[in-house]
């Protein structure tokens, strides 16, 4: 015996029910096409579902620390990869964006603070 907590069919059934309900919820909220927080809500629901699968179906909740460390590290690197690439794309100058791209409100061209551009200035206009 491995001397660990034995998760039984009851808990699996509960997790399965929660996953089914969350799937239906995410389909309904997805079909509403919420303009502002639709993506955030879908990602939160997906993360909750993913956490349920990892913790209970994959037994991460009852495994030893090293397994959790491996999983947490891979998640951290996924987030870093995503964030830094998006920082790059979000702060690019107009000519380096793909043609037809809808990211057009670069701060300098529009004369405003900018949603993604931060405090960047056009090339050649930086104070010496």
Partner 1 sequence: MQSSSVAGTPGAPHVPHVAAHFASREVQDHAARLGMWLFLATEILLFAGLFVCYANYRFAFPDAFAAASRELDLTMGTINTLVLITSSFTAAMAVHYAKEGQNKQVVWMFVLTILMALGFLVIKYFEYSHKFHVHQLPGPYYAYDKIQLPGVSMYFTIYFLSTGLHAFHVIIGMIVLGWVTLKAMRNEFNHSNYTAVELGSMYWHLVDLVWIFLFPMLYLI
Angle of helix 9-31 versus helix 38-52 axis, rounded to 10: 170
Report how far Cα 74 is from the mean position of its chain's Cα atoms. 13
Provide the b/e sequence for 56-90 (b: ≥16 CB within 10 Å): beeebeeeeeeeeeeeeeeeeeeeeeeeeeeeeee
Question: Which is closer to partner 1, CB of 19 or CB of 108?
Answer: 19
Local structure of residue 54 (DSSP, 8 states): I
Element (H, E) at 119: none
* Stretch binding partner 1 (CB under 8 A), from 8-16, 107-115, 120-128: 8-16
Closest CB 126 distance from partner 1, rounded Å: 25
Binding letters toward partner 1, positions 70-89, x by CB under 8 A: xx-xxx-xx--xx--xx--x
Query: CA 116 to CA 104: how far, in whole Å?
Result: 10
Which of residues 25, 37, 62, 67 is near partner 1 by CB under 8 A?
67
Q: Which of residues 88-107 bind partner 1 (CB under 8 A)?
A: 89-90, 97-103
Residue numbers at the binding site for partner 1 (CB under 8 A): 1-3, 6-9, 12-13, 15-16, 19-20, 23, 26-27, 30-31, 33, 39, 42-43, 45-46, 49-50, 53-54, 56-59, 63-64, 66-67, 70-71, 73-75, 77-78, 81-82, 85-86, 89-90, 97-103
């Amino acid at each position: 015996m491995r001397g660990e907590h034995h998760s039984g069919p009851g808990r699996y059934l509960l997790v399965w029910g929660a996953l089914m309900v969350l799937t239906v919820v995410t389909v309904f909220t997805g079909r509403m096409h919420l303009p502002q927080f639709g993506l955030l809500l879908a990602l939160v629901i997906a993360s909750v579902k993913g956490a349920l699968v990892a913790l209970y179906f994959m037994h991460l909740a009852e495994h030893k620390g090293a397994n959790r460390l491996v999983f947490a590290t891979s998640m951290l690197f996924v987030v870093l990869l995503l964030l830094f690439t998006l920082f790059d794309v979000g702060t690019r100058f107009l000519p380096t964006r793909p043609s037809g791209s809808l990211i057009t409100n670069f701060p300098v061209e529009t004369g405003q603070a900018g949603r993604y551009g931060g405090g960047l200035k056009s090339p050649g206009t930086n104070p010496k």
